[in-house]
Structure formats: C-alpha cells, structure tokens
Structure 1
C-alpha cells in the first residue's frame, strides 16, 4: 500500500477515536455540572462559558501550533496534542468545582489540537489528485466518532458515571496518539531558517484574499453550530420526557454524524464537479431551512428526523472548507492555513456557546435554533456571494461550467 494511503487510514482511525472520546464527554457537561458539581442555577450559561473558554484560548494557540507544524513537522504536533488531550481528560475527571473544570477546559483549548493537526498532515502528505477525497475521508472519521461518542457516553454515564467516562476517554486518546507515533510516516524536511516570526507569518497568510473569506465562512458556520451545544442535550431530554436514559438523548444528538458519513463522499464528488464554494453554500442553506423546525417539534422522533436531514445538508461544509483552503494556499504553507482555520472554528466555538447559553437562559431554548438558522443563512449568502467569486478568480475556474 502506498504510504499516503496508509497514512490516511491510520489518521482516520486516530481522528475517529479522538472525536468519539470528545463526544463521549462534552455533550453531557450540563448533566455533569448539575449532578456531580452541584450547580443548580445557570447550568446552560455555565456550559456555554466552559465551551467558550476552551475555544477562546484555542483561537490564540492554533495558529502557533500550525506554524510550528510547518517548521518541525505536522506529525510531531499531532503527537504533542494527543498527549496533552489524553492527560486533560484524566484531570477533568478529578475536578470538584465548575471553576476547576473551567481551568481544565482552558488548558485543553491552549495545548491541544489533535484533529486539526491530522487534517494538516493529510493535506501535506497526500497527492493533489486525491486530496479532496482524502480530506473528506478523514472528516468522516471525525463525524463517525461523533456518532458513536454520544451513544457510548450516554451508556457509560448511566453505568459507571461521567467521571469514569472521562478517564476512559483519556486512555483511548493516548492509545490513538501511540498509533500515530508508531505507524504514520511523514517525509518532512525542516525548512531553512528565515528571518520571520509566527505573527508575521499569520499576517502574510491573511493577505491571501480568498483564504480570509473562507475563514469568515468557518467562523459563521461554527458559531451557528456551537450555539446549540449548551442546550441541545437538555432540550432533547425534555422532548423525550422524564425518566428516559441518557443514551437515548445521545443517539438523537449523534444523528448529524450519521448523516455526515452517508453524505460527505457524495458532496465531495459534487464539489469536484461544481466547485466546493458552491456545494458549501448549498449545504449551509439546506442546513438553515432544516434547523428551524427543530424549534417547533413536540417529540424526540421529530427532533431526530430534522437533526438527521439537517446533517445531510451540512455534511458538505467542513470537508468543503478544507478543500477550498488547499485550492488557494500553497502546500508548504498549509499547516499555517489550517491553523488559522482552526482558530476561525474555535472563535465560532467560543462565540456560539456564549450566545446559545445566555439566550437559552434569557428567552428560552427554542430561540437558539432560530439564531442558528439565521447564522447559517448569513454564512450561505456570504460564501455564495464572495467566496465563490474570489476562489474562481484565484484558481481560474469557470463559474458557468
């Protein structure tokens, strides 16, 4: 087997494990805050703050790790991130107050970045001809993990408790990191020393007009999705009714991941034909239209249906954005570019939980879905109006083809 194909398969497995471990724990933070840490007021606001704090520090650190990956190797950055992430889960299991939990979340945001490092590694070791499908495949590993994670996390929360689930997550992430260390091959040549610095590199990258536009699409899209995080599991449990186990909420929560695994390869094929900016725009608009009914449903089955169908539409977005970055950024600079994109995602992941958590407390959970739909519509219009045209000018493709 060619080395790049072997890398993609191993990185798929590592990303799958990391994503599953993350979603085994994070969707149940509101439950953990209430049941284990004794938070009785403002649970959704606390959950939003926890999500925002980690993401906020990652906004600052992700470009640094991306730039260091370009200088010292993306595999080294992935191993570094995996070690810190695995240890962070174990520390999270030991907290006794929401303030301590907040400190661990900040550490995760500042020191990790396992999945973005895997994306950068794929983007720099895969031949250009196969790059779109390779990125889409690794993205399906992320989403497949997000399918399994909430289901397993819900079962484990019922059986052994959330704290022990955190410890198991840490062990699995460290095992995935060992797999990457042993099995992934990267033929990396350290570039010659240049009179530059990380901040200067970031400013230079942002001068690439299409890249800046793509990053804004990432911010808007991620803000919309992250806004639902603090309220989604409590809302689903409310729809299911009292006495229902955590794993049922986990199944409904994970349905967009099921949709992603089904639809992402199809979207990747369409992206190669129509252009990735077009498929990203269409997917964002479809996701918006299918999010509004989630605010109006009266039961768990209906919620599951619209979660699934919205996921089918939104499956075009994250791999499409990754493919857009590879179209407008040179191979040797993709570590920096994906670091910036991770910062854009994390800025959205910081703003979204704050908006969703506090809006849910102030005016009701259902209004968070309306906010999500509006943000998705705005991002679809932005991508169609500006990103599509700029990428066409950059790559010389014909929009009418």
Structure 2
C-alpha cells in the first residue's frame, strides 16, 4: 500500500474520532450539567450553550496557529500532540465535579484541537493532483460523518452505559488514534521556506487571493447549512411525529442519514472533481443542496425528512473535498498548513454560527423557516460561485486536474 494511502486510512480514523469527540457531548450536555449540581432550568440552558459553543470558538482561533506549527515542525508532530491532548482532556471530563471544571476542559479542548488541520495538510501535500480530489473527499467523510453521528453515538452511550462513559470511551478511542498515528503515519518533512512567518506574509504568498477568499466563505456557508438544523431538529421531529415515544430514534436516524450519504458521496464526487474540475462540482452541489432544503420545510412525516436529509448529504458530500482540492491546487506547499488552518477556522465558526442561527430563526419565525433561510444562503453562495469562479477567465488553468497554479 502506498504511504499516502496508509496515512489516509490512519487520518480518516483519527479525524472521525476527533469529530465524534467534538460533537458527542451535545445530547448529554444538559443532563451532565444537571448531574453536576445545576438544578435551575435556565441556568442549565445557559451553561450548556457556553460549554458547547466555547470549544468551537476557541478552535477557530487556534486552528491557524496549529496550521503554522504544522508548516514549521511537520504534520505528524501536530497529529500526535492533538490526539494525545484531546484523549487526556476528554477522558478527564468524566471526572469533572463542577460545571466550571467542565467548561474549563471544553475550553482546553478547543485550544488543543488541530488534528483535522494537520491531517488535511498531510494528505494534501503528499497526494499527487491526479488523486487529490478522491483522497481529500475520502478524508472529508470522516469529519462530516463524525460530527453528524457524534450526537447519536453520545446519546446511545449515555443511555446504555452512563453519561460519564461518553467521555471515557471517546478519550480511549482518541488514545487509539494517537497510537495508530505514532506507529503507522510516515512523513518525510522538509521545511521549504523559513522566511514566511506572520499571517500577513502568508497572505502575501497566496497567489490567488480572491479565489481563496471565495473558497473560505463557501466552506463557512456550507458548515452553517449543515448545522443550522441541529439545535431544532428534535423539536421539528416532535412536531412531525404522531408517536412521541420514537422522537429520539427518528432524530438520531435523520442525523445518521446525512452522515451516511456523505460517506457514500464524498469520495466519488472528489474523484469526479479530479476529472471535470472542482469548480463544476462546487457549483452543482451548492445548487442541489440549496434546492433540497426547500421541501424540508413542507414535509409531513419524519420519513420524508429523512429522505431529503439523505439527498442533502449526497450533494453536500461533494463540497468539502472540492473546496479543499481547489485550495490545495492554488496554495504554495510551504504555507499549506496555515491556509488549511484558516479553512478549519471557517468551519468551526460555521458550526457555531449555524447552531446559533438555527435556534434564533426557529424562535423568531418558526422551525420551517430555518430550512428556507438556509436554502437562500446556499443558493446565494451558488450565484456568487458562478460569477466569481465558474465564469472566471482562465478558470480551467487554475483548477483543471493535474495542474498547479504558478507560485
């Protein structure tokens, strides 16, 4: 097996577990905070919001920092640092005796993160352009499916084993990720440019600034779309379901449908972007995803919603690998880690913004409007991509397979 494929396999597992660890706390967080001695319902909601959101906000701040460290010291050391650190921090959450301790550990988790940035950079720099779309597409299934399946996994563990075991099991899995990274990831790292240090110098070294900004914003909008429904999904399923006993099951299945669709579609659409160009896949996926959100506002049963979320997952699966492939092809290798770090920061901000947006839109206008508002965001982004990227003079020279932009 080629080294890049073996690294891809190890990184896939590590990023999946990391994403589960970032998101699995969502369904058990209010219950765990209550278990820690907070009895007032408003206080539980307040502490839950802080504990959930703080990890993603801090991660957004530190992702570019760890990306810079990856460019300076190599990607494997960053993988080892992040996986070991997250293993210890998440495991320690099971021993928290006060809500402030839990919030502090969630903050520390946000600081330590960086596994995804290092993995994406490692695979992007080791894989040739012919296979870049497929490799990054396969890798993207780990973070997306882990994030979407995390709440279901966390809820299952909490119900069948106990709330603390959610943290213990996830911490143990992260330790497995650390060990597999230590023994199986191979990297011959040579720092190529010691002159580029500050973020200002990084930005000056980016050859396609407008295109890079467009990709980062598109990644941000995509993540908002994927997570806008998360805080209100259970409420919507309750409204659609005639049997309240199965609300939790339906909610978990609907989350899982999107994750499963991403696993199926992302490698295939990544390979397609290698053949026809990333810009075409991005535009088509944005349009299909945007249109798929509209009927979700008018469904009459959880099964209809599940089917539409599956279709959404198929289309959205092409966006992340296509965006990452384009970023790889227009970014000099010596600053790839930092640019992907900024990209991950955009994703983390998208998770936080999407959750916040979904809750606020549902509170002010109704749950159905969350889907319509998200559809509008995606379709507006598609129009922007069409004029800024698809119709750009010479776009084929920028993104056509097997080519790299002039540096």
* Common topology (TM > 0.5): yes
SS of residue paired to 1:243: helix
Matched, 1:160 2:152: no
Q: CA RMSD in A?
A: 2.8
How far the C-alpha of 1:250 sits from its partner, in A, is: 1.7
How far the C-alpha of 1:65 sits from its partner, in A, is: 0.6
Which deviations, in whole Å up to 9, do the C-alpha atoms of 1:85-120 show, x marking residues without a partner? 222322433446665544333322222022222111
Gaps of 5+ in 2: 401-407
TM-score, normalised by the number of residues in structure 1: 0.88
Q: Which of 328, 331, 335 is the aligned partner of 2:330?
A: 328
2:228·2:354 contact (CA, 8 Å) conserved in 1? yes
Cα distance in 2 for partners of 1:260, 1:96 equals: 38
How far the C-alpha of 1:124 sits from its partner, in A, is: 1.5
Which deviations, in whole Å up to 9, do the C-alpha atoms of 1:118-166 show, x marking residues without a partner? 1111111222322221111212233444565444333222212333212
Q: Which of 371, 376, 379 is the aligned partner of 1:377?
A: 379
Cα distance in 2 for partners of 1:228, 1:101 equals: 25
Cα distance in 2 for partners of 1:396, 1:351 equals: 31
Which deviations, in whole Å up to 9, do the C-alpha atoms of 1:313-363 show, x marking residues without a partner? 111111111111012112222111111111111222232222222333344
SS of residue paired to 1:55: helix
The 3 A distance-change label for structure 1 pair 394 and 63 is farther
Cα distance in 1 for partners of 2:307, 2:396 equals: 39
Match of 1:113 in 2: 114
The 3 A distance-change label for structure 1 pair 141 and 225 is closer
The 3 A distance-change label for structure 1 pair 129 and 269 is closer
Q: How does 1:273-352 map to 2 (within 5 A)?
A: 273-352=275-354
The 3 A distance-change label for structure 1 pair 306 and 182 is same
Cα distance in 2 for partners of 1:94, 1:46 equals: 18
2:137·2:266 contact (CA, 8 Å) conserved in 1? yes
The 3 A distance-change label for structure 1 pair 394 and 48 is farther
TM-score, normalised by the number of residues in structure 2: 0.87
The 3 A distance-change label for structure 1 pair 32 and 224 is farther
2:230·2:358 contact (CA, 8 Å) conserved in 1? yes
Match of 2:134 in 1: 133
Which deviations, in whole Å up to 9, do the C-alpha atoms of 1:15-48 show, x marking residues without a partner? 2333344444335545656787546248777655
Gaps of 5+ in 1: none
Cα distance in 1 for partners of 2:32, 2:362 equals: 18
2:137·2:318 contact (CA, 8 Å) conserved in 1? no
**Larger deviation, residues 202-211 vs 294-303:** 202-211
Q: Which of 255, 279, 283 is the aligned partner of 1:253?
A: 255
Which deviations, in whole Å up to 9, do the C-alpha atoms of 1:155-199 show, x marking residues without a partner? 2222123332122111111211121111100001234643x5333
**Larger deviation, residues 62-71 vs 234-243:** 234-243
Cα distance in 2 for partners of 1:182, 1:77 equals: 14
Matched, 1:14 2:14: yes
The 3 A distance-change label for structure 1 pair 105 and 232 is farther
**Larger deviation, residues 247-256 vs 111-120:** 247-256
Cα distance in 1 for partners of 2:127, 2:101 equals: 41
